[in-house]
Amino acid sequence: MAFEDYDEFEQGEQVRKWIKENGVAVVVGVVLALVLIFGWRQWQAHKANVEIQAASQFGVVQNAVQGGDKQAMAAALGDLQKNYAKSAYAAFASAEVAEYDVSKDQLKPAAENLEWAVAHTDQPALHALFSLRLARVLLAQGQAQQALTTIDQVPAGEYAPIAAELRGDALLKLGKLDAARTAYQDALSKLDKGAPGRNVVQMKLDNLSQPQAAPAGKQVQ
């Protein structure tokens, strides 16, 4: 046998030996890899399908809000909150229904839906936005301390001027005038000179600078 033939024979034997010793492991590895790839694609397809269904229900909520159909609104929102709680569409729908409820002076259900939206979003900007909306509703309900607690949980830098103004409103309702004044000043420092809400904040600050009314039965010296 020529050396070349012997080398080929030896190599062939080594290959057959390796396959015999490792063949099962290789096959299992290949199968597992295929299963993982297939499973990942299936999961991605499932996620995409869930988002499509959630978006469809969000559209139903929007149409119900525009038409003032409270029954359809509640049904679609309930489905979103129950079956698509991890989708951003559910949080957006909760906030949209809350806005509708506020327009109808239904503050309790508005607060409940905003609380749900806050609890079910992990995006910092959305969490801050929904929290500040919730704080407004809580203030409208006369729950200044709860509103202040909600505002304090908003990350620094997210809607900072709005958060500072609302903090001032809450502190004012709690009778903490100096702290409210500081909050309004903070809000002004964060607002551009041409910002639409700047005049409102300035007015609130100016009102705090006015002399307080004397208690009944007493005269101001």
Q: What is the mean pLDDT of residues 177-205?
A: 92
Quick check: helix, strand or coil at residue 191?
coil
Find how far residue 135's CA is from the centre of its chain.
15
Q: Which residue has the higher pLDDT, 46 or 74?
A: 74
* 132 and 201, same domain (yes or no): yes
* 196 and 146, same domain (yes or no): yes
pLDDT of residue 1: 47
The whole-model pTM stands at 0.73
Instruction: Identify the domain boundary among 53, 72, 93.
Output: 93
Quote the Cα angle for 151-152-153, to 5°: 90
Residue 113 in domain: no
- Note the pLDDT tens digit of each residue in 89-114: 999 999 999 999 999 999 999 999 99
* 77 and 133, same domain (yes or no): no
> Rounded CA gap, 125 and 127, in Å?
5
Rounded percentage of the chain residues whose pLDDT exceeds 90: 57
- Note the pLDDT tens digit of each residue in 172-181: 999 999 999 9
pLDDT of residue 217: 45
Residue 108 in domain: no
Residue 110 structure tokens: 């508005």
> Rounded CA gap, 81 and 108, in Å?
18
Q: What is the mean pLDDT of residues 198-218?
A: 72
pLDDT of residue 213: 42
Q: What is the mean pLDDT of residues 54-81?
A: 93
CATH number of 143's domain: 1.25.40
Residue 174 in domain: yes
Residue 220 in domain: no
Residue 117 in domain: no
* 21 and 63, same domain (yes or no): yes
* 129 and 89, same domain (yes or no): no
Q: How many domains, in total, are found in the chain?
A: 2
pLDDT of residue 95: 95
- Note the pLDDT tens digit of each residue in 116-161: 999 999 889 999 999 999 999 999 999 999 999 999 989 877 799 9
Residue 47 in domain: yes
Residue 188 domain boundaries? 123-208
Gyration radius from the chain CA atoms: 31
The mean of the pLDDT values for the chain is 82
Quick check: helix, strand or coil at residue 120?
coil
* 13 and 67, same domain (yes or no): yes
Torsion of CA 212, 216, 219, 221, to 10 degrees: -30
Confidence of residue 42 (pLDDT cuts 50, 70, 90): low
Q: What is the mean pLDDT of residues 68-97?
A: 93
pLDDT reading at 216 higher than 50: no
Pick from 194, 196, 192, 143: nearest CA to 166:
143
Residue 118 in domain: no
* 150 and 197, same domain (yes or no): yes
Residue 99 in domain: no
Rounded percentage of the chain residues whose pLDDT exceeds 70: 72
